[in-house]
Structure formats: C-alpha cells, structure tokens
C-alpha cells in the first residue's frame, strides 16, 4: 500500500535540491518536466517489447501530453505518433514524426484532407462505415490511395458505444472496403483504458484471432494495433471512503481516517509486453506487426507540479499559490497522489488539508503531506502528473502556469510562459492603431 508509493516519495525527496533550484529560478506554480524520467520511461517501454523479438511499432498518444518539449523528447527517442485531431496531426507533421496513426470518432473533411495530403506518413484508423466512404471520396479527389486500419468496438455498451465498428460488422466492413479504390485496409485497432494487468489485451486478442483469420482484406492483414492503456507503476491510489462509493464531502475525509489508501497492483511493463506478445503469436495468424499507442505510461512520471504555501490557517490547513485548475478537474479530492513538502520533508505523512487558492472548496491538493510540518513559504511538490493534466488544465480564475524543463545536466529552462491578463482578456488590452 503506502510502501509502493514510498519509492516515488523517497526519490522525490532525494532530488529536492534540483527542484528547489527550479522553483527559486522561475517561481511557482510550475509544471516541471523532468527529461530523464521521460527518456527512461520510453526506453523501458521499448526494451520491454524489444525483448520479445516481435516487430512492434510504438506510437505515442499525443492526447496524454502534447507539450512541445515532451513531443520533441518522444520524437528524439524514436517513437512514432498517435494523433486524434487535425490539431495533433499538424503538430506531428510539423515535428517530422516519420509515421503517424490518426484515430478518433467524427473526423471532419478538413482533418481527413490533411491526412490525405500526407498519405506517405499517415495511416487513418477509420471509425465508421460512413467515414470510410467519405475517406474514399476525398482520397479519390486527391488521386491517392490512403492506408487505413479499422477501429474496432470491443465493448459496445454504455459510454464506449461511440467508438469504432462492432466486431460483428467486420465482415460487412471489409466487403464494403473491397469496393473502394482509394482506401487500402491494412489492419485493425482497438483500445482499452487503464490496464493494470494484461488480461484485457489477452482476452481481446483471443476474440479477434478467429475473426481476423476468417475475414481478410485483399492484401492480407499487416498489423493489429492494441491501442494504449498501459499503466505506469507509480500512479494514483484510491481513498477508502471513495472506494466505498462515498464521495468526499466538502468538509474533507472522515475524522477517523488512518491516512491509508488502496494502491491497485500494476503488472510491470516487462510482463505486460511478454503476455501480450505471447498471445499475439499464439492466436493471431499471418499478421506480421503489432502496434501499440501508449500515452499515460510514457508521460505520467515525467511531470511534477510545484506550489508554494501562501497561508496556513489553524493547525493543519494550508493554502498554496496554485489552484487545481492546473489539473483540470477535482482529481485529488477522489484520488491520492503524494504531496511532499520539499522545505520540511519527511518520509512519513502528516494529516494536513492542502488547498489551492481558487474560490471553491473542491480545490484540494491533498489531505496529507509528506512533511515534518507546513509553514508559509514552504515549497510543495506533487510528482507524476504528466498525463491528462496539462491538456486538461482550465483557465478557471487563475492562469494556467508556466512549464519548466529540467535536463540531465541539472540545467533548467522555461519552455512555456504562464498566461497573462492580456492573453486571457485580450479585449481589455486593444492593440493601439497606427
Ligand atoms: C485510441 C487510443 N489510443 C491510445 C490512447 C492512450 O491511452 P493511454 O494514455 O491510457 O495509454 C487512447 C486514450 O484514450 C486512445 O483512445
């Protein structure tokens, strides 16, 4: 339980001099990208799949964190790009990613046209019968043959109904695609979120095996893309009262809470890769390539949020200079990630309500802190917020803060500045004419 996040806390405390330096140089709040952690995560993921000797192509899911330094590091580490909008596609093209997959429901004509203009580098995962027909028309106008995969819907229930085409419609889809001269079907894609164990991938591959063997496009299948959803090992834990289905009231956790939480067991990426590839070889016939689209696994450990305590009220309530608009939602009211006082660190938690400075009680950074104590001016850090945080950050009351890059050499640089009042309210600051 606590033991596993303990390694993350320990490492963060050991590194505290470099974090303090970045906070002193650039101020707080800040997102701090730690380049080495990102490289390490990419290398470990790549090595896990390379060890299987299977041909695997790894596409980084931009949606997890498309901050420019992250994209540059990912590109330099040799990953390919997984994009889900024209915006992300433009970024992947501008950064010269060699191979790009473009998936997502509701692609517009403009987005498809952009992909078609770069048919040498882009594979489109088509999401519906109507989309493949539209893609064929647009590609035909451009005089190109577009490579495509089929986004499969492997869980056609509830909110997941919106994605892809149901497995049962695959034969009909292939038949339709056979009649389209400007789309070449090469593979299939599915995606399952939050896989802490390999079972979801394994089961889905087993279901797919016989279907893909029975129904093939003219030139055969080239790839099966199993999407993202690989879980990093140091991630959030659940509060017991939330796990019990009882949502935290605005007054905070129960008074008798013993500062414990549930940290679900996550299989190491090496065993996930070994399981997935063993199943792929076992049940998928005559498909040479396995594709993967990790986002969270790559980006999450590499970005931390640093805050300074502005005010302390009573015995155990602190207010910091950054609001949870920086996370995008009231995440830490429901999920625990470690919060560490770098000024007065401790390997043990103390009970302390730590808030941001937004005008809402739901602006919670944590109910505990790894600290001896918390006083005004202290520097706090919450590590491993690299995925679905910078992308979800909101312009609510406070600006979205600056981003700092920490390089291997210990050097730091500001790579994106915080919003100013002029950015937020341009109409109040008209540019003088003439
Ligand atoms: C199609 C697809 N691929 C990859 C990802 C990335 O998932 P994760 O960040 O969990 O690895 C997602 C996330 O929603 C997705 O929908």
Tell me the β-bridge partners of 137: none
CA distance 163 to 156: 8
Tell me which of 86-95, 178-187, 254-263, 364-373 is least confident: 254-263
Which atom of ligand 1 lies at the shortest distance from residue 103's CA?
1
Q: Residue 9, SS3?
A: helix
Strand partners, 355: 319, 364
368 touches 258 (CB < 8 A): no
Q: Region 412-426: what's the mean pLDDT? A: 91
Query: Whose Cα sits closest to atom 12 in ligand 1?
Result: 228
Q: How close is the Cα of 293 to the center of ligand 1, in Å?
A: 6
Q: Name residues contacting ligand 1 (CB within 6 A).
A: 61, 63-64, 82, 103, 191, 193, 227-230, 293-297, 387
- CA dist 309 and 111 (Å) reads 44
pLDDT score, position 162 = 83
Q: What mean pLDDT is predicted for residues 378-387? A: 97
Distance of CA 246 to the CA centre of its chain: 27
pLDDT at residue 3 greater than cutoff 60? no
- 193 CA: nearest ligand 1 atom: 10
State residue 157's pLDDT score: 61
Instruction: Name the pTM for this structure.
Output: 0.96
Question: How far away, in angstroms, is 327 Cα from ligand 1 center?
Answer: 18
Q: What is the DSSP letter of 200?
A: H
User: What whole-number distance in Å separates Cα of residue 380 and Cα of residue 369?
Assistant: 9
* C-alpha of residue 190 to centroid of ligand 1, in Å: 10
Q: Determine if residue 271 is left, alpha or beta; phi over 0 gives left, psi from -120 to 50 gives alpha, anything else beta.
A: alpha
- Pocket mutation for ligand 1, best pick of 42, 61, 226 (most atoms within 8 Å of C-beta): 61
Q: What is the pLDDT of residue 181?
A: 97
* For residues 88-117, average pLDDT: 98
Best mutation site among 105, 124, 193 for ligand 1 pocket (most ligand atoms within 8 Å of CB): 193
What is the SS3 assignment for 44-103? HHHHHHHCCCCCEEEEEEHHHCCCHHHHHHHHHCCCEEEECCHHHHHHHHHCCCCCEEEC
How large is the average pLDDT for residues 124-148?
98
Count the neighbouring beta carbons within 10 Å of the beta carbon of residue 131: 19
**Lowest-pLDDT range of 2-11, 108-117, 120-129, 364-373:** 2-11
Question: What would you report as the CA-atom Rg of the chain, rounded to the nearest whole angstrom?
Answer: 24
Residue 392 has pLDDT above 60, yes or no: yes
Nearest residue to 228 via CA among 269, 283, 187, 265: 269
Mean pLDDT of 145-155: 93
Cis-peptide, bond into residue 109, ω within 30° of zero: no
**Residue 171, pLDDT score:** 93
Ligand 1 centroid – CA 345 distance (Å): 35
| All structural domains of the chain | 35-295 (3.20.20.10), 301-418 (2.40.37.10)
How many other CB atoms are there within 10 angstroms of residue 321's CB atom?
A: 18
**3-class secondary structure, 366:** strand
Tokens at 314, concatenated: 């009573």
What pLDDT shows up at residue 4? 65
**pLDDT exceeds cutoff 80 at 281:** yes
pLDDT confidence band for 248 (50 / 70 / 90): low
What is the DSSP pairing of strand 340-341 with strand 379-382?
A: antiparallel
Q: Is the pLDDT of residue 1 over 80?
A: no
Q: Which atom of ligand 1 is nearest to the CA of 151?
A: 1
Q: In the beta sheet, which residues pair with residue 56? A: 290
pLDDT digits (tens, 9 = 90+) for 215-241: 999 889 999 999 999 999 877 788 888
The rounded Å distance from CA 79 to ligand 1 centre is 15
Alpha-carbon separation of residue 303 from 94, 116, 381 (angstroms): 23, 34, 11
Whether residue 221 contacts residue 188, with contact meaning beta carbons closer than 8 Å, is answered with: yes
* Residue whose CA lies nearest to ligand 1 atom number 13: 228
Q: 3-state DSSP call for residue 345?
A: strand
pLDDT of res. 279: 98
Cα 198 to middle of ligand 1, angstroms: 15
pLDDT bin (cut points 50, 70, 90) of residue 187 is: very high
By alpha-carbon position, which residue is closest to atom 10 of ligand 1?
229
Question: Atom of ligand 1 at shortest distance to CA of 387?
Answer: 9
How far is it, in rounded angstroms, from Cα 115 to Cα 137?
13
Question: Which of 63, 85, 103, when mutated, tests ligand 1's pocket best, judged by the most ligand atoms within 8 Å of its CB?
Answer: 63
Measured in Å, how far apart are the chain's first and last C-alpha atoms? 64
Ligand 1 centroid – CA 377 distance (Å): 38
In the predicted structure, residue 405 carries a pLDDT above the cut 80: yes
Mean local confidence (pLDDT), 88-104: 98
Helix H or strand E segment including 135? helix 129-142
CA of 226 to the centre of ligand 1 (A): 10
Q: Of ligand 1's atoms, which has the minimum distance to the CA of residue 296?
A: 9
Quick one: pLDDT band at residue 249, thresholds 50, 70, 90? low
pLDDT per residue over 290-334, tens digit each?
999 999 999 999 999 999 999 999 999 999 999 999 999 988 988
User: Confidence class of residue 370 from pLDDT cuts 50, 70 and 90?
Assistant: very high
> Per-residue pLDDT tens for 335-362?
899 999 999 999 999 999 999 999 999 9
Residue nearest to atom 7 of ligand 1 (CA): 228
Q: For residue 192, how far is its CA from the centre of ligand 1 (angstroms)?
A: 8
- Expressed in angstroms and rounded, the spacing between residue 191 Cα and the centre of ligand 1 is 7
Ligand 1 geometric centre to CA of 339 (Å): 27
Task: Kindly report the average pLDDT of the chain as a whole number.
Answer: 94
**Least confident interval from 79-93, 235-249, 364-378:** 235-249
Looking at the chain, the whole-number percentage of residues with pLDDT higher than 70 is 96
């Amino acid at each position: 339980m606590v033991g596993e996040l303990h390694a993350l806390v320990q490492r963060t405390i050991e590194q505290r001099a470099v974090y303090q330096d970045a906070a002193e140089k650039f101020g707080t709040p800040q997102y701090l990208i730690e380049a080495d952690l990102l490289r390490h995560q990419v290398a470990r993921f790549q090595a896990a799949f390379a060890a299987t000797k299977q041909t695997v192509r790894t596409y980084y899911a931009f949606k997890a964190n498309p901050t420019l330094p992250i994209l540059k590091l990912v590109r330099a580490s040799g990953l390919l790009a997984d994009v889900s909008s024209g915006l992300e596609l433009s970024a992947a093209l501008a950064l010269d990613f060699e191979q790009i997959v473009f998936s997502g429901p509701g692609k517009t004509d403009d987005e498809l046209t952009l992909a078609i203009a770069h048919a040498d580098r882009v594979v489109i995962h088509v999401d519906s019968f109507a989309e493949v027909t539209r893609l064929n028309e647009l590609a035909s106008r451009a005089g190109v043959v577009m490579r495509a995969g089929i986004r499969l819907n492997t869980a056609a229930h509830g909110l997941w109904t919106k994605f892809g085409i149901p497995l049962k419609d695959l034969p009909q889809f292939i038949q339709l695609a056979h009649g389209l001269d400007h789309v070449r079907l090469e593979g299939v894609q599915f995606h399952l979120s939050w896989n802490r164990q390999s079972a979801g991938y394994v089961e889905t591959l087993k279901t797919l095996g016989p279907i893909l063997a029975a129904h093939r496009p003219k030139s055969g299948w080239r790839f099966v893309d199993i999407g993202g959803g690989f879980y990093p090992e140091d991630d959030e834990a659940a509060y017991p009262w939330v796990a019990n289905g009882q949502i935290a009231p605005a007054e905070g956790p129960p008074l008798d809470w013993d500062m414990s939480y549930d940290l679900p067991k996550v299989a190491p990426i090496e065993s996930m890769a070994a399981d997935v590839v063993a199943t792929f070889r076992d049940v998928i016939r005559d498909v040479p390539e396995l594709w993967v689209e990790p986002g969270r696994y790559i980006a999450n450990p590499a970005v931390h949020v640093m805050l300074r305590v502005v005010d302390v009220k009573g015995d155990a309530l602190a207010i910091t200079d950054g609001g949870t608009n920086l996370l995008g939602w009231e995440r830490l009211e429901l999920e625990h990630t470690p919060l560490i006082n770098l000024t007065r660190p401790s390997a043990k938690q103390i009970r302390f309500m730590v808030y941001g400075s937004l005008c809402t009680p739901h602006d919670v950074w944590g109910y505990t802190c790894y600290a001896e104590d918390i006083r005004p001016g202290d520097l706090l850090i919450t590590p491993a917020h690299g995925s679905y945080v910078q992308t979800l950050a909101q312009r609510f009351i406070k600006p979205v803060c600056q981003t700092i890059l920490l390089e291997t050499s210990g050097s730091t640089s500001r790579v994106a500045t915080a919003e100013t009042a002029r950015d937020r309210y341009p109409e109040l600051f008209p540019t003088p004419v003439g």
